[in-house]
């Protein structure tokens, strides 16, 4: 069920019993997914009798609504919308990308040209959406839709009819879509990698000069998708192999440290794994220093490069720490071929590596499953390396 405004909210934006009854009736009738109507992300942009997720005090009412819908087997999502109207010092004024009046459009509907938002004001609006989405997830909604259609604020940035800016938020399709991309990126940071978030867009604006065209929308959609998936693509490509290699090298180095006096085969293994570790360390330092250049391989969109570079550096530092933990773990578990050291190593895997993996999944947006499979791949490679190395070492000692 798509989001459709009812005006059934209470005056201050609280969920009313009438609203609960309305949506419960639709859920009872067999709707699979209920997307709750236009909801203001902040109190400053809340209109009369409009719902809001701008403060925690609204959460109990929202939870009653969600419970009523879920009772009949339906799922829930909420649409976040900035209508372009804001309450500033007790007066409602219209805000927009440019101070222009467009006949038959939302911008200038009051008869006065809207206030042109400054970059700082745009940044504040972006954070409103992120905070509201985080609150929606905490409240129990299964997903969030960003209203980027119907000439409201986000849509007005996407249209050349209402956006005549000459800064980074206007001009090219990429610049006009920047506010949408920043909203999606900020929400993704706030809610994590696995929470459903999507925009609602005008594919084309009819009957308006310089309106959105289907060709422009074809360019906007990939930008919106990239806002969600870029970090996952970058991190999976760069770090799944390096995690596996790091685990394997960590096993070998650790076993050498714990083995006491190494023989010829052990010394050869030490040199080989030391060489691998040195290469990985140099590569990690290169990533820390030149993260932007690496991200440029995947995208040249400035806002994506900036934020993805930060994530890349955090992830790299995390993986370096994970490698050191692996060496420590394998040093203990490799202190001998007896059962107790192996048990200690197993315990360390569960108590250290898995919580670390969960932390990385939250910080890097790699995802719990991506990190989990990275660990599995690393353990497999490490196990194979251990078997090959020590079997080869024992075979050589027998021949000497």
Residues that are catalytic = 152
Q: How far is CA 388 from the centre of its chain?
A: 40
Q: Write phi, then psi, for 197 (nearest 5 degrees).
A: -140, 135
Locate all alpha helices (DSSP H) within the chain, ordered by sequence. 17-28, 59-70, 119-139, 153-158, 173-176, 178-191, 214-258, 264-289, 291-296, 302-333, 339-348, 354-364, 368-399
Per the CB < 8 A criterion, the answer to whether 294 and 238 are in contact is: yes
Alpha-carbon distance of 115 to 85, in angstroms, equals 10
Per the CB < 8 A criterion, the answer to whether 36 and 62 are in contact is: no
Q: Is 393 helix (H, G, I), strand (E, B) or coil?
A: helix
- Other CB atoms within 10 A of residue 240 CB: 17
Alpha-carbon distance of 203 to 272, in angstroms, equals 57
Alpha-carbon distance of 304 to 231, in angstroms, equals 9
**DSSP letters for 161-220:** TT----STTSSSHHHHTHHHHHHHHHHHHHH-TTS-EEEEE-S---SSTT---HHHHHHH
> What residue has token string 């530092």?
317
Alpha-carbon distance of 134 to 362, in angstroms, equals 14
Nearest Cα neighbor of 303 from 179, 166, 196 is: 179
Alpha-carbon distance of 186 to 303, in angstroms, equals 11
Kindly state the tokens that stand for 237: 């490509």
Q: How far is CA 294 from CA 12, 199, 242, in A?
A: 48, 28, 15
Alpha-carbon distance of 68 to 266, in angstroms, equals 66
Length of the chain as a residue count:
400
């Amino acid at each position: 069920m798509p989001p459709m405004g009812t005006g059934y909210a209470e005056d201050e934006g609280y969920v009313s019993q009438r609203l609960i009854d309305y949506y419960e009736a639709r859920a009872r009738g067999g709707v699979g997914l209920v997307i709750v109507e236009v909801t203001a992300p902040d109190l400053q942009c809340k209109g009369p009798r409009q719902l809001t997720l701008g403060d925690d005090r609204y959460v109990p009412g929202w939870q009653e609504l969600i419970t009523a819908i879920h009772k009949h087997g339906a799922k829930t999502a909420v649409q976040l919308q900035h209508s372009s109207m804001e309450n500033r010092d007790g007066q409602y004024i219209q805000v927009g990308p440019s101070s222009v009046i467009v006949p038959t459009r939302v911008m200038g509907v009051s008869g006065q040209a809207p206030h042109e938002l400054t970059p700082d004001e745009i940044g504040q609006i972006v954070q409103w959406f992120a905070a509201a989405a985080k609150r929606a997830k905490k409240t129990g909604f299964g997903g969030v839709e960003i209203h980027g259609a119907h000439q409201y604020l986000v849509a007005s940035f996407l249209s050349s009819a209402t956006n005549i800016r000459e800064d980074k938020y206007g001009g090219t399709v990429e610049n006009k879509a920047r506010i949408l991309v920043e909203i999606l990126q900020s929400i993704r940071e706030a809610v994590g990698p696995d929470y459903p978030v999507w925009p609602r867009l005008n594919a084309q604006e009819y009957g308006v000069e310089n309106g959105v065209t289907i060709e422009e929308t074809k360019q906007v959609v990939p930008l919106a998708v990239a806002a969600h998936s870029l970090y996952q693509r970058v991190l999976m490509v760069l770090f799944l192999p390096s995690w596996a290699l790091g685990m394997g090298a960590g096993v070998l180095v650790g076993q050498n440290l714990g083995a006491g006096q190494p023989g010829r085969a052990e010394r050869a293994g030490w040199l080989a794994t030391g060489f691998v570790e040195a290469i990985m360390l140099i590569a990690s330092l290169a990533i820390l220093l030149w993260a932007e250049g690496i991200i440029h391989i995947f995208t040249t969109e400035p806002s994506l490069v900036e934020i993805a570079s930060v994530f890349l550096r955090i992830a790299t530092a995390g993986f370096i720490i994970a490698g050191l933990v692996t060496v420590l773990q394998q040093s203990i578990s490799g202190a001998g071929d007896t059962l107790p050291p192996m048990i200690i190593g197993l315990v360390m895997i569960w108590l250290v590596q898995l919580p670390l993996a969960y932390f990385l999944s939250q910080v890097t947006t790699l995802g719990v499953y991506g990190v989990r499979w990275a660990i599995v791949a690393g353990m497999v490679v490490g196990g194979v390396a251990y078997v090959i190395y020590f079997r080869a070492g024992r075979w050589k000692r027998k021949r000497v």
